């Protein structure tokens, strides 16, 4: 089977409903780090103040049915997930055709930092 020239990945920020899903087009030869940059560029306001390198991306397979578009999707509640390493090529992680109407990537923001005021 021929490798696609572009992967269209459906993404969702952790804690949001599938109603807020968005797609990112990425080359299969790109890395997870490249994908982080594309995601940051796609939703800059949602990720304001967060560097792309600080995002954690998780491969998931969550059907985007009409019945689950109002419930927040929480990474902690997803049983089958895999954290993606920045150096991996997307073609290694997504072999074959992608399932349509499915969330492929959960975007996890870094934990908030606490600054001590003194």
- pTM of the full predicted structure? 0.90
Query: What SS3 class is residue 52?
Result: helix
Is 7-108 a CATH 3.10.20.90 domain?
yes
Q: Where are the domains of the chain?
A: 7-108
CA distances from 107 to 9, 22, 56, 94, 98 (A): 12, 11, 6, 16, 18
Q: pLDDT tens across 45-78, in order?
A: 999 999 999 999 999 999 987 776 788 999 999 9
In which band, very low, low, confident or very high, does the pLDDT at 118 lie, cut at 50, 70 and 90?
A: low
* Number of neighbours of residue 92 by Cβ within 10 angstroms: 11
């Amino acid at each position: 089977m021929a490798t696609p020239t572009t992967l269209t990945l459906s993404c969702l920020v952790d804690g949001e409903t599938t109603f807020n899903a968005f797609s990112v087009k990425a080359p299969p030869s790109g890395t997870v780090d490249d994908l982080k940059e594309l995601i940051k560029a796609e939703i800059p306001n949602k990720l304001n103040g967060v560097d792309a390198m600080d995002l954690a991306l998780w491969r998931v397979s969550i059907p985007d049915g009409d019945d689950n578009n109002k419930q927040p999707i929480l990474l902690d509640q997803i049983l089958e997930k895999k954290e993606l390493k920045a150096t991996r090529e997307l073609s290694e992680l997504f072999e074959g055709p992608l399932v349509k109407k499915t969330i492929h990537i959960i975007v996890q923001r870094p934990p908030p930092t606490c600054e001590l005021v003194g």
